[in-house]
Amino acid sequence: MQLNFIGNAAQVSSSGQTIPMLDPSDGQVFDHIQRSNAKDIDHAVRAARQCFDTVWGKTPAAERGRLLMRLSMRVAQGVDELTVLEQRDCGKPTRQARADAVALARYFEFYAGACDKLHGDTIPYLDGYSVLTWREPHGVTGHVIPWNYPMQIFGRSIGGSLAAGNACVVKPAEDACLSLIRVAQMAAEVGFPAGALNIVTGYGHEVGDALARHAGIDHISFTGSPSVGTLIQQVAAQRHCPVTLELGGKSPQIVFADADLDAALPAIINAIVQNAGQTCSAGSRLLVEQTIYEPLLERLGAMFENLRAGPASMDLDLGPLIRQSQQQRVWDFLSDAQADSIPMVAKGSVVDEAPETGFYQAPTLLRDVPVQHRLAQQEIFGPVLCAMAFRDEDHAVELANATPFGLVAGVWTADGARQFRMARRLRSGQVFINNYGAGGGVELPFGGVKSSGYGREKGIEALQGFTTLKTVAIKHG
Ligand code: NAP
Ligand code: MG
């Protein structure tokens, strides 16, 4: 049984209740977590506050950096262990689970180096005055983490927050807690003071809501769905608590006729099958210039047919979806496609070894999806790619910007001037040209516009959000 981790100690929930954890590869219960409540959140926030007031808030930046570096090395040493946990908990194929653990170590490494490079300014002002700014931590930050990339999102969120000098209270998604509890134990092992990093598990509407409402939380970092993002903002607004939101996406991959298809097609496939399509930045819409629409779909269709889904331990192209309700969500979208006669180009397969009780979905390529259709507007959060054709650059921009989201856009073209024009015209937090992100991109600020949220995590930019600026004006004559 898994316990909360509060003040560097394993703790049972005051509710005395637990939640079963399912292995998505076979749908069977393999462990239990605490079903925590508002009392447990209060306990964790007090531990964090105590730590911030007495130890962490006084720890020099260089020392915070050393601790984060030790944690990075400890995570790197524990990559195999974390890979096994994540594979079981989230159904990620081995290589994908491992990549997340490696990225987590890298986040801590990056933010370790950033701690003592966070400078303020001196500002010219009136004669006889000196003015300076300090970037100060908020105090205690709350972090609500989704189930799709628990280690990566935890890494970027608490990595930046601890680097900036905050103490953290984390609420993982109930479907994906194991790796985060283990990493918090590692943080205690390498010397983080009790209360700097606390993990409280449970349901979002209970413990997540309690975290957002707690008066002792000075800032909330939320990654998840737009609807819960709205709830969190409403709750936080009551006490004017700042919120960083990383919400979903319906990201376009835009392919012009002059693109290098040998480079583009594998990246387009990876961006929709990675983590079985349950990725906020999934390239879930494929916009193709009319003149190459047919040959491109033929080539891509043949590649889709070779894709295989199966148990995480088989380490195939994709594993199962996280849970049955997610599988049902994808089925609902696909039956809408059928009802509305949206043609299917190709479908991959689920291997025979996949247990019937697992939550599998074969990758599916659809074509001629009308831009206003639900399939082209909403997050499916599964391995379903929706293709449509465009006439020219203006039409490509119009289609790309025609959803409520604005997280990532991929543009594939050899024309340098067009690369810049497209990057300017796309309403999106990130634009990748002739690539779709590589090597984790820990250094690159990440976030969205419109319903994809606001605020930026990752990179040095994240430290702005995890701090507040204090202006000090001194009159000395
Ligand atoms: P979700 O339902 O919004 O859940 C996200 C987190 O919020 C979970 O920890 C959840 O807890 C918690 N939560 C649920 N209701 C809550 C409430 N009333 N108050 C406080 N917390 C609450 O989203 P999800 O289904 O886990 O994740 C998928 C979504 O996240 C997709 O829309 C995806 O695009 C988005 N996402 C965005 C990014 C990004 O960086 N932009 C990254 C990853 C995912 P429980 O699950 O335990 O109930
Ligand atoms: Mg799980």
> Given ligand 1 and candidates 201, 280, 403, which is best to mutate, with the most ligand atoms within 8 Å of its CB?
280
Mean pLDDT over 274-295 rounds to 98
d(CA 269, CA 274): 8
d(CA 227, CA 230): 5
Rounded to 10°, the helix 293-305/261-273 angle is 50
How high is the pLDDT of residue 440?
76
How high is the pLDDT of residue 323?
98
pTM for the predicted model, two decimal places: 0.97
How high is the pLDDT of residue 109?
98
Domain with CATH 3.40.309.10 in the chain: 252-441
DSSP per-residue string spanning 246-277: E----EEEEE-TTS-HHHHHHHHHHHHHGGGG
Cα distances from 423 to residues 393, 408, 411, 430, 436, in angstroms, run 12, 11, 8, 9, 13
Whether 177 is a known active-site residue: answer no
Whether 90 is a known active-site residue: answer no
Mean pLDDT over 279-308 rounds to 98
> Which pLDDT band holds residue 359 (cuts at 50, 70, 90)?
very high
Q: By three-state DSSP, how is residue 182 classified? A: helix
> Given ligand 1 and candidates 21, 107, 148, 232, which is best to mutate, with the most ligand atoms within 8 Å of its CB?
148
pLDDT tens readout for residues 132-142: 999 999 999 99
Cα distances from 403 to residues 250, 253, 372, 378, 451, in angstroms, run 7, 14, 8, 8, 9
Domain with CATH 3.40.605.10 in the chain: 4-247
The bound ligand whose nearest atom lies closest to the alpha carbon of 407 is 1
Of all atoms in ligand 1, which is nearest to the CA of residue 446?
A: 40
Catalytic residue among 86, 174, 206, 246: 246
Of all atoms in ligand 1, which is nearest to the CA of residue 228?
A: 3
Please calculate the CA angle 234-235-240 and round it to the nearest 5 degrees.
90
175 CA → ligand 2 middle, Å? 4
CA 104, 110, 112, 116 torsion: positive or negative? negative
d(CA 210, CA 232): 10
Contact 409, 252 (CB under 8 A): yes
Amino acid at 476: H
Contact 243, 455 (CB under 8 A): yes
How high is the pLDDT of residue 451?
97
pLDDT tens readout for residues 11-45: 999 999 999 999 999 999 999 999 999 999 999 99
Report which protein residue has its CA nearest ligand 1's atom 20: 208
Q: What percentage of the chain carries pLDDT values higher than 70?
A: 100
How high is the pLDDT of residue 56?
98
pLDDT tens readout for residues 185-221: 999 999 999 999 999 999 999 999 999 999 999 999 9
Residues whose Cβ atom is located within 5 A of ion ligand 2: 21, 89, 175
How high is the pLDDT of residue 347?
98
349 CA → ligand 1 middle, Å? 28
Query: 281-307 as b/e, with b when 16 or more CB fall inside 10 Å?
Result: bbbbbbbbbeebbeebbeebbebbbeb
Residue 412 has pLDDT above 80, yes or no: yes
CATH architecture of the domain 252-441 equals 3-Layer(aba) Sandwich (3.40)
176 CA → ligand 2 middle, Å? 4
DSSP E strands: which ranges in 166-234?
167-171, 197-199, 219-223
pLDDT tens readout for residues 414-468: 999 999 999 999 999 999 999 999 777 999 999 999 999 999 999 999 999 999 9
Ligand 1 surroundings by CB, under 6 angstroms: 144-149, 153, 171, 173-174, 203-205, 208-209, 212, 223-225, 228, 231-232, 246-249, 280, 379, 381, 407, 448, 453
CA 146, 83, 105, 458 torsion: positive or negative? negative
Q: What residues contact 172, with CB distance under 8 A and at least 6 apart?
A: 145, 147, 150, 154, 180, 181, 199, 201
Burial of 171 (0-12, 13-18, 19+ CB in 10 A): buried
The bound ligand whose nearest atom lies closest to the alpha carbon of 87 is 2
pLDDT tens readout for residues 348-358: 999 999 999 99
Of all atoms in ligand 1, which is nearest to the CA of residue 209?
A: 19
Q: By three-state DSSP, how is residue 412 classified? A: strand
Mean pLDDT over 49-67 rounds to 98
The whole-chain average pLDDT of the chain stands at 97
Report which protein residue has its CA nearest ligand 1's atom 6: 146
Residue 286 has pLDDT above 90, yes or no: yes
pLDDT tens readout for residues 98-144: 999 999 999 999 999 999 999 999 999 999 999 999 999 999 999 99
Of all atoms in ligand 1, which is nearest to the CA of residue 249?
A: 34
DSSP per-residue string spanning 418-446: HHHHHHHH--SSEEEESSS--TT-TTS-B
Burial of 261 (0-12, 13-18, 19+ CB in 10 A): middle
Catalytic residue among 115, 280, 386, 457: 280
How high is the pLDDT of residue 51?
98
How high is the pLDDT of residue 438?
77
> Given ligand 1 and candidates 158, 228, 330, which is best to mutate, with the most ligand atoms within 8 Å of its CB?
228
Tell me which fold the domain 4-247 belongs to.
Aldehyde Dehydrogenase; Chain A, domain 1 (3.40.605)
The CA-based diameter of the chain, rounded to the nearest angstrom, is 82
Tokens 């462990």 identify what position? 31
d(CA 219, CA 157): 12
